[in-house]
Amino acid sequence: MPELPEVEVVRAGLEPAVTDATVTGVEVLDERSLRRHDGPVEDFIQRLIGARFAAPQRRGKFLWIPVLDDGDPGRVSALASRRRPEMVVAPSSSALVIHLGMSGQVLLRERAAARDRLTRVVLEVRHPEHGPLRVDFVDQRIFGSMALDHLLPTVDDPDQWIPSQVAHIARDPLDPRFDDRAFLAALGRKQTTIKRALLDQTLISGIGNIYADEALWAARVHYEQPTATLRRARAVTLLAEVRLVLGRALAEGGTSFDAQYVNVNGASGYFSHSLNAYGRQGEPCPRCGRPIVRESFMNRGSHFCELCQKLRVARPLS
């Protein structure tokens, strides 16, 4: 499943092409790709045609393109704002939410380019500078989807809006408003283990199996360490390693296996060459040389070094 770096690569690639572009045509080739759209296919098409896009946004693994409310006086909300306490005007009231699922790809194409066999939804857009373009949603396994959704103000910033389908997702660690102290405090309170906590998108978003294993390896933390017994200094180190690994993966265009996670031009990222633990079972740990082990975990696997990442038992005070 694409994680934060792979989704950010897609968002950044879409930004110059779709920001300020107007949708001129919509074709739904497979209705299953609209399963998260609350309405019939015709509704999806009618609401999108003529819509003008704002800059694509992301939180964790979720991507959306706000639709500008042209000619609309703006949606008024009863939420507090300093200048006009009785109303806040949203810049847009709806967004096209793109779930990449397991294998979803968003590809930018020339209008007349050939279509991929697994294309599910096609958007034709016209950009004021770049002219006509095609945005193809390609999805092999159809776990991904496109949906029009309404925007809600975020709980911690009434001036920032988020699709209702994404509202329950926590901020990701690359978000400037991510609250480190609140996250560390939550870890101490939770009755869970550290990898489960890292994968809990309502606690911290954007991390999946690959980057959880990599950050845990870098911070020398066992994946089954109970969060309540994780020392604060180590938790701080772990959060720093999470940010480092996400940042490095982003700089290398994300991690691509089987050419599945690609940027908007169809190119793969290079980070799979930089992995230390994930998918490296049997290979020597780059730190100590002992073979990396894979254990089954939540229907997938956990990759770690038994020597560098020991389960630390809390010593009873006596």
Distance CA 154, CA 84 (A): 18
Distance CA 61, CA 150 (A): 18
Give the H or E element holding residue 161: strand 157-163
- Write down the catalytic residue from 11, 59, 61, 120: 61
Q: Which residues bind Zn ion (CB under 5 A)?
A: 285, 287-288, 305, 307-308
Cβ proximity to Zn ion, 194 vs 250, nearer residue: 194
Nearest approach in angstroms of CB 215 to Zn ion is 15
Distance CA 64, CA 98 (A): 6
Residue 2 catalytic?
yes
Residue 316 catalytic?
no
Residue 259 in tokens: 């050419």
Residue 3 catalytic?
yes
Please identify which residue in the block is written with the tokens 């949603």: 137
Residue 61 catalytic?
yes
Phi then psi dihedrals of residue 301, to 5 deg: -135, 155
With helix as H, strand as E and coil as C, how does 92-145 read?
A: CCEEEEEECCCCEEEEEECCCCCCCCCEEEEEEEEECCCEEEEEEEEECCCCCE
Cβ proximity to Zn ion, 10 vs 293, nearer residue: 293
Nearest approach in angstroms of CB 214 to Zn ion is 13
* Nearest-10 crossing angle of helices 232-251, 180-189: 120
Please identify which residue in the block is written with the tokens 């779930």: 99
Phi then psi dihedrals of residue 56, to 5 deg: -60, 145
Cβ proximity to Zn ion, 204 vs 275, nearer residue: 275
Nearest approach in angstroms of CB 276 to Zn ion is 9
Nearest approach in angstroms of CB 199 to Zn ion is 22
Residue 261 in tokens: 């996670």
Cβ proximity to Zn ion, 68 vs 307, nearer residue: 307
- Write down the catalytic residue from 3, 6, 124, 214: 3
- Write down the catalytic residue from 2, 5, 56, 173: 2
Nearest approach in angstroms of CB 238 to Zn ion is 16
Cβ atoms of residues 148 and 44 within 8 Å: yes
Distance CA 11, CA 8 (A): 5
Annotate 271-305 with b (16+ C-beta within 10 A) or e (fewer): bbeebbbbbbeeeebeeeeeebbbeebeeebbbbb
Cβ atoms of residues 9 and 254 within 8 Å: yes
- Write down the catalytic residue from 111, 231, 300, 310: 300
Nearest approach in angstroms of CB 292 to Zn ion is 8
Residues in the chain: 318
Cβ proximity to Zn ion, 28 vs 305, nearer residue: 305
Cβ proximity to Zn ion, 101 vs 286, nearer residue: 286
Of 56, 59, 67, which Cα lies nearest the Cα of 91? 67
Cβ proximity to Zn ion, 127 vs 287, nearer residue: 287
Where in the sequence numbering do the catalytic residues fall? 2-3, 61, 300
